[in-house]
A and B are shown apart, each in its own frame.
Chain A
């Protein structure tokens, strides 16, 4: 166990080596989590005889479901029941296309009697234009942040990703482009990833691409190395020399910030930026804590690259990262993707993998990663495997039989029920638009709706102002978020009763109060009200002090402000 996992075997075997370690961890984790609850076996949330499928015929589904089931058996827990149609549809829509389902989709789905309708729905969502928008948003935020530094083009980054997700380009190709890109920040949008990571304006400084080094390992390889810049990693086995060997791949970059004369203001203003090749050969020099200077040559795990002048090091790095039987980028992507759908990946956090951090379900992670590679790094296929799984099909309600499966309390996730997730700011914004049917009237073009959404989120995003360009949001579950949801302009518009507004249209249609209340529940919570809810709500509407219109307005306001709306469950 003491050997460095990064230092074992040939490049193509890296994954296998890592997996051997992970296998050991599986044994450890199984032992430590045995016997948590002996009473758990006695009560059942549902009979555990039949796998709850989505109707997918994919061969891999059996393996995925068996692996997860094994975890339930080993830990003596009973999985939750299958989520009902409304809960499942809402969740899968939020996760795949980034917003709740519109009411017409909900009603159509409820009416569909096909036993494979969930698998069918996943296909519909994967083909939805909102799929492209959602994954572009997710990866733009991951790569350059919600408030990228000055002279980075967010729209350039988005354009690159939008095209990539629209064509369902293989994930290794996307990574290849991002790591090796050069050129104009709007024409070659992939360069914005590195532009956003460059520190200062001196390419000779060791700081220049330190962040690019750390972020690239974290984001694409799922390994955290930022500490090894100065010393050996306290937990994983990365050494300081490995950091600088990896760093030396990025030393041939230079950013050029062009300026131009603006005749209106009669001043020089920012024009475009670009990432260009910089003539750099030989080693990188770095300082050990003892003060000793050392050299590092470009080396990726065990793969050395010529440090001579004729070599484009980033292209070499991009090749090394994206080829082989099971490169680390596949593991990292599978882990991150699983985490996206379940709220918890196989490791916690998803971007800190390695022998120091035992994954839950190592065999599943391993198999999914190699299948992902075999599929040609097909991102949509990876989503199909995850979203069609039995575990993803379950309700977020837990029972006595699986209440110990609680990763929020620090337990290793067993995926015996869905975990409640906070909605991302973008998901909430888009869902409010969908719920109030504002997406149909006056549909905006991509850039304009993007601009409005960014503007709405701005008060919640806070940049730390360090050279790492890290940021936090004050969005999730905070008082400012509650105030915005209660009193903000977006909500005011959503519950507007002006002529032509959604509420007005619902209320002007003929029908009973019950019908109208049902419509508002379906638009916001993707489910019909229960009998008790309907009775209580009708009473409130009929007894209201104000007009019926305003009583309905208050109901819709309450639905949109409810925990059930604001959480992804």
Chain B
């Protein structure tokens, strides 16, 4: 099916008002309307949390260990509550592994940071004539428009680096916040609201002429983004970003670090109705000293991931929230002269769980040295198709670029059978 851009920006009274207020003075009421439907907590809506490991994580040391191989490294595998083993550096995650699965047969070709980041986020190989939307933007486009009560952007990126909305437009761009939840320049008090009203009236007058002057899409896109920003400024839902309002023990459980706080914020955002949150954790580009780096890093990973799974389960949300953990590629099975691992896209792992997907299994596998996938291998499109099916986005969804090029959801990837209930 061919989908049109949802008219979600005109849904609100005040936006309709803005659009038609070219030379009139609106009443002061319209901004106060914006608060009317705030504070409605929306539970049990489908969502995806992507944990993005920027730089390319050495999955051979985390999810697919090779004890006994020359490539095995310093860590040993341990048993988990699921039917698979993971790294001994992840003991708490092992205890929730019945909810999570590992796709051990990723083979993705792109081993350059920029290309790999693009490919894993979009399911498409970079191409000169079109910018493909990052998958968070796809989910924002498909699910964001349906969530009428959501004032927040429907794609939030904690820490940034989540790619571009491409031809889906800036309305679906990732909204980037820091893990402290501070949204800059978004607070205005009651007095300022009246001022804002005056100013927006003037603005719509000036903008309308330029939008109608035949200069392409950017003038209109500017107006849409401003509307969204005003929406945000006046919404109670902004509280979702304030991680520090969580009970102290909850903050402790997730970990008082960027990754832990990011995951806790993601859970709060899911509760508010945001359908896609990406939490960025960088620093995985371990060309040297990989095991020393991992000892530090995996402690925080282990704490954050296990806390998130437990928290979602306790709140009855785990079946609605898909969790994906991945980076742009894996790292070389061979350990280099600097005790590092280099870029490697041929055989690596992605962790995926929640959202009603089958947990506790390893999908596919690699040979004894971790160098090749045995049997069927998977592409990012297959991961995103699996996510789409868990979120209820039809797999035959087609997005059409401005040039009229049709692009099938997740580049035509198929959901991974073993993971679908």
Contacts and interface: CB of A to CB of B under 8 A. Distances in A.
B74 interface: no
Contacts of B200: 558
A408 B402 contact: yes
B403 interface: yes
Contacts of A200: 287-288, 338
B412 interface: no
B287 to A, nearest CB: 6
Given A410-B130, A558-B203, A482 B226 contact: yes
Contact of B185 (A487, A540, A559): A487
Nearest to B344: A230
Nearest to A419: B216
A199 B282 CA distance: 17
Contact of B25 (A459, A468, A540): A540
B170 A478 contact: yes
B118 to A, nearest CB: 12
B175 interface: yes
A121 interface: no
A554 B202 contact: yes
Interface in A515-555: 530, 532-533, 536-537, 539-540, 543-546, 550-551, 554-555
Most buried by A among B170, B176, B222, B287: B222
Contact of B287 (A207, A409, A543, A544): A207
Interface string B159-179: 011000000001001011000
Contacts of A566: 222
Contacts of B338: 200, 202, 205
A85 B215 CA distance: 17
Contacts of B113: 464, 466-468, 470
Most buried by B among A403, A472, A530: A472
A390 B337 CA distance: 58
Interface in A178-208: 199-200, 202, 205, 207
A569 B337 contact: no
A562 B25 contact: no
Contact of A480 (B175, B285, B342): B175
Given A226-B112, A483-B184, A554-B202, A410 B170 contact: no
Contact of B207 (A487, A544, A562): A562
B227 to A, nearest CB: 9
A420 interface: yes
A459 B202 CA distance: 28
Interface in B189-219: 194-196, 198-203, 205-207, 209-211, 213-219
Nearest to A201: B288
B348 to A, nearest CB: 15
Given A202-B338, A230-B111, A536-B22, A555 B202 contact: yes
B186 interface: yes
A420 B215 contact: yes
A562 B210 contact: yes
A101 B128 CA distance: 34
A482 B227 CA distance: 9
B183 interface: yes
A563 B55 CA distance: 36
B198 A483 contact: no
A230 B218 contact: no
A398 interface: yes
B311 to A, nearest CB: 27
Given A409-B402, A557-B202, A472 B160 contact: yes
A464 B225 contact: no
B420 to A, nearest CB: 32
Contact of B205 (A422, A536, A563): A536
A467 B287 contact: yes
A411 B403 contact: yes
Contacts of A462: 160-161, 176
Given A478-B175, A536-B22, A465 B55 contact: yes
A467 B402 contact: no
A226 B233 CA distance: 43
Contacts of B232: 479, 483
A547 to B, nearest CB: 12
B401 interface: yes
Interface string A69-88: 00000000000000000000
Contacts of A557: 199, 202-203
B19 interface: no
Contacts of A559: 206
Given A207-B287, A564-B206, A398 B215 contact: yes
Contacts of B402: 406, 408-410
B337 A551 contact: no
Contacts of A558: 199-200, 202-203, 205-206
Interface residues of B, number: 72
Nearest to B188: A487
A7 interface: no
A271 B392 CA distance: 57
B223 interface: yes
B405 to A, nearest CB: 7
Contact of B225 (A472, A477, A487, A488): A477
B202 A477 contact: no
A483 B176 contact: no
A420 B217 CA distance: 9
A564 B220 CA distance: 11
B228 interface: yes
Contacts of B316: none
B205 A533 contact: yes
Given A348-B129, A554-B199, A479 B229 contact: yes
Interface in B79-132: 111-115, 117, 128-130
Contacts of B225: 477-479, 481-482
B160 A474 contact: yes
A561 interface: yes
Interface in A210-231: 226-227, 230
Contacts of B153: 479
A484 B186 CA distance: 8
B207 A483 contact: no
Given A478-B176, A554-B199, A483 B285 contact: no
A352 interface: yes
Nearest to B187: A487
Contact of A420 (B112, B188, B218): B218
A405 B165 CA distance: 23
Contacts of A68: none
Given A226-B112, A397-B214, A464 B226 contact: no
A537 B205 CA distance: 8
CB-based closest 8 A-B pairs: A558-B202, A465-B282, A409-B402, A563-B222, A482-B229, A410-B403, A487-B185, A483-B185
Given A202-B288, A479-B225, A562-B207, 10 more contacts: A347-B128, A396-B215, A477-B173, A478-B170, A478-B225, A486-B230, A533-B206, A533-B209, A557-B199, A562-B203
14 contacts: A205-B287, A227-B115, A396-B215, A468-B114, A474-B160, A478-B175, A479-B173, A479-B229, A487-B185, A545-B194, A550-B195, A555-B202, A561-B199, A563-B211
